[in-house]
Amino acid sequence: MPLSEDLRNELAAIAPARRCCRLAEVSALFHSAGSVHLRGRGELALHLDLSAAAAARRAFSLLRELEIASEIRTYRRQAFERATRYQLHVAGEKGVLDRLVEAGVLGSRHAPLERPPRRVVGRACCRGAYLRGALLGGGSLSEPRSPHLELRTASVEGAEFLRYVAAADGVNVGVLDRGRHAIAYAKGLDAIETLLAAAGAADTVLALEERAVVAATRADANRLANADHANLVRTSRAAQRQLDALRALQAAGELKRLPERLHEVARLRLRHPSLSLRELAAKCDPPATKASVHRRLNKLVELAS
């Protein structure tokens, strides 16, 4: 299962106990995935457009706890494999609008706000709830090989507000305007894990760390395997050059006229073509060093050339 889906499922299972945290989470949901529609006679309707069933269920439950009635509808996108999406429709009744003003979704005159007032995230628990709502509404998380966390918002002001919320936890995030929407993004495991921990996604933090360890271990194993393979290739090619040189000397009758130490090494290499230099050195009488055997074999190759 992709990390983004795991993350949404984990966050959707968190039910904030405090009303201020519920308001902050609802605020983030609307600022990341909400829209306001003007009906006739000045009436308003609000929609939440979500990509995951777990996020839709969490949003529905949050709205109900705040006494905001909503209706869930589904539709299929025309692109991206026609994925099912979930819409929560909220009628703009008087009491509902008052609670959305309290959550910082609407202003005092019921106009939509680009970003909520700072009072919405005045407490640490509310900042965590706001991050949780932003992740549920428009968050995506990539694999640990190149970790990247994005939080989508409807406007640059909303992304800047997420930067402000993250900075309160000591995390620097970037902001990017993509025209039709904006994003706040974090790179690097430390920054991403701090944000996820603040939002309450402890299991996802552990999963990220585990995958990062596995990826690093696999990379180290591949690097060592490649190094061992390269060493084997170099050793086998050197041994082949030595054998070709010794066979040429043997065919020319030159081996018998070699000094004793060179003759000994030549005889051992012909008898043991696959042994390493260290193993050949151990078979010399008396045992020689690896460096001396290497010098003698190089001398034999020079004599044959």
Measure the CA–CA gap between 160 and 81, rounded to whole angstroms.
32
* pLDDT, position 144: 65
**Percent with pLDDT over 70 in the chain:** 97
Global pTM reads 0.71
Q: Is the pLDDT of residue 265 over 70?
A: yes
- Contact assessment for residue 48 and residue 29, using Cβ atoms and an 8 Å cutoff: yes
User: Average pLDDT, stretch 278-282?
Assistant: 88
- The 174-177 sheet, strands edge to edge: 139-141, 148-153, 182-187, 174-177
Split at pLDDT 50, 70, 90, the class of 249 is confident
The per-residue pLDDT for 211 is 77
User: What is the C-alpha to C-alpha distance for residues 287 and 293, in angstroms, rounded to an integer?
Assistant: 10
- In this predicted structure, the answer to whether residue 31 has a pLDDT above a threshold of 60 is yes
CB 116 within 8 A of CB 105: yes
Of all residues in the chain, the percent with pLDDT exceeding 90 is 43
The ranges of the chain annotated as CATH 3.10.28.10 are 3-200
Structure confidence by residue, pLDDT tens digits, 145-180: 778 899 999 899 999 999 999 999 889 999 999 888
Of 38 and 126, the one with more pLDDT? 126
Q: Considering the domain 3-200 in this protein, what is its CATH number?
A: 3.10.28.10
